[in-house]
Amino acid sequence: MSQDNTNEFQEGIDPTKLSSKFLTGKIKAYTLDKTEEAIQTIDDIPDVLVLHSLTNDLTTKPKEECVNKMDKIIEDTHKRHPDLKIIISLPTPRADDESLNIKAQMLSIMLKEKFNNKDNVTLCDNSNMAYKGTPIQKFLDSKDKYHLSNSGVSMLAANMRDCIDQVLGFHQRSSNYATNERNNRKTQNTQHDKFQGSSYQYDPIYTPNENRQSHNRGRGQWRNYRGHDQQFRGYRGQRPR
């Protein structure tokens, strides 16, 4: 398994703990050029090779060059090892630079178009760390908004593990992390802020830049904590007084 992203990713993921179903290892390579060199040094060829090798090159190279370089790496690798299954981990969202985040999304689309129907190549989509293209802050380091947080590393590891399971033909499972995320959202969506007998729902994860609190139950109605509909005037999108 050849992986490259950020220092947090390199140090945060223990490949031996990805799954009990397969043995894993990792080689650090911080650019596509270094990844190409590292693959040639692998003596014990694995069943699956995971490449997370786009994050750093994204900041210095055009999208087309990244796609062409990745294509060359895969072609050369398959010439030597035709049956080797390769997983391309797509760029993770970033909030440090909007233009780079958009570039990462466009690069992901280009890679999908290039490799979608290519034999022995699978794409690992990491867009679940964003909502409608906007990075979810909890998955990013709060200081630089680029490196992955612990939650981001966990999500990336879960995405990779699911792809490895898929290409090896293992039964697809719901990751504990994904399950916990769903449970957390369910809890958050059912929490109520009692304010003078009123309640409202909120979803801070999936609407980080929007105010989508669903207080209004129809024009001039709100529900108190006993579950009864009440009538009032002038309440639209704000708490009743």
Taking residues 26-51, report their average pLDDT: 91
Q: For the chain, how far is it from start to end, CA to CA, in angstroms?
A: 59
Confidence (pTM):
0.68
Please state, in angstroms and rounded to a whole number, the distance separating the CA atoms of residues 199 and 222. Answer: 8
Strands 2-3 and 48-52: parallel
pLDDT interval class at 110 (50, 70, 90): very high
More confident residue, 197 or 143: 143
Predicted local confidence at residue 235, as pLDDT: 43
Predicted local confidence at residue 220, as pLDDT: 46
Q: Dump pLDDT digits (tens) for 7-34.
A: 344 456 777 667 777 777 888 888 999 9
Task: Find all residues with CB under 8 Å of 179, minimum gap 6, and list them.
Answer: none
The topology (CATH level 3) of 2-177 is: Rossmann fold (3.40.50)
Predicted local confidence at residue 24, as pLDDT: 79
Distances (CA, A) of 229 to 137, 214, 216: 36, 14, 11
Q: Dump pLDDT digits (tens) for 197-217.
A: 333 333 333 333 444 444 444
